[in-house]
Structure 1
């Protein structure tokens, strides 16, 4: 599979601005319910799933700040290539548990805490099962074990978050996601960007923008198996890819 070409992303940014897709994205964000969060950062521990329009929005946000972009991309590389070895926080979280892209944070981040507890815990059980199944696949295919800390890590339901009104049911949460899918479809229909229409986490979007997807994954597997080569490989990639 090919990588996400930066030139295509820049065209997507221009198209999104011209057709006010970013404005429409922000309009969706503005309709989301608010709540009281204590800012502990305990939920910021994964490569949260995002839409293409959200990636474009975040990419554009970082494009205007070289220092922040470099810091975030270095952390993205660490997160991705060490993902099988240790559990790391979201690469967009700073050392003070603050989100470095808070103004453009994705839908899933904005909705965390608004889930009904029963829905959240059911989804959490499914995530853990998928992680275990994936560990078995990696063991069978490549002959090494993903760290159990990574496989069994759980972002527990937040008891401290207080929604402004009420917790959201599944249908309501999905209705917001559907609105973003409509914005994505407008970009894909114009064939501006040559990538598969599939689920990606925020880390995977940026990795795909830096490296060929298959190359990145092969490196990831190799450095996960070889502890001596790991630091050398990651530092080399940072020097080559992050400019």
Structure 2
């Protein structure tokens, strides 16, 4: 059984449409200032944190395009199960550095480049330290090291992005996140989806919609430790899940 049931997702989609939550989400997105981006794609190198409402929105977007859905989910599976052994780009970025889900991309993607440099670099230091500590846990518990490139990879502050209205302070950025949390709370309060409230990245949301969380993690550990079963296991999962 999956950690996030498909029927629950479909019920959430219906609820969001009937109660115009997608419209409210898009209204929040529309209030974000724009900026001049070079399109280099250097920032699209992780499973960004997203809200429940954003996952449901992206799921709905992919549901209507089976070819795009399979392409994205195939890359999601590669990203997740190879995460400890190689650094991969965001699975929603194509070979031309374009976002495959640009119309419904998450808040964190839309905010990139709007950070003040000091705030961004401080957050980057915290992320790197958490990666180092997590690697120690993996080494102690499972006896292998996460790839050094993965542990120490840094998405550098973008000097080329030019925000329309100047860079945002922390409180302004968080105010947008708070608005999305309100939309999430609206969904959770109705009891139409049976999942634990916790931080998830976009990859983790989709993995949890395809597999049980513990099962997925156990497979991830196995393929990370045993190169001989790695690609075979991932290919079998794709045949079953896609």
The TM-score with structure 2 as length reference comes to 0.99
- State the Cα RMSD in Å: 0.8
Aligned to 2:170: 170
Superposed CA offset, 1:161-194 (max 9, x none): 0001110000000000000000000000001000
Aligned to 1:71: 71
Superposed CA offset, 1:95-123 (max 9, x none): 00000000000000000000000000000
Measured after TM superposition, the shift of residue 195 of structure 1 is 0.3
Contact 1:2–1:212 (CA under 8 A) maintained in structure 2: yes
1:195 match: secondary structure = coil
Aligned 1:176-191 pairs, distance under 5 A: 176-191=176-191
Aligned to 2:24: 24
Contact 1:2–1:195 (CA under 8 A) maintained in structure 2: no
Aligned length in residues: 242
Alpha-carbon distance between aligned partners in 2 of 1:165 and 1:72, rounded to the nearest angstrom: 33
**Structure 1 regions of 5+ residues with no counterpart?**
none
More displaced, 73-82 or 2-11?
Answer: 2-11
Aligned to 2:100: 100
1:91 match: secondary structure = coil
Contact 2:12–2:193 (CA under 8 A) maintained in structure 1: yes
Contact 1:48–1:201 (CA under 8 A) maintained in structure 2: yes
**Structure 2 regions of 5+ residues with no counterpart?**
none
Measured after TM superposition, the shift of residue 239 of structure 1 is 0.2
Aligned to 1:120: 120
The answer on 1:50 being equivalent to 2:50 is: yes
Measured after TM superposition, the shift of residue 2 of structure 1 is 5.7
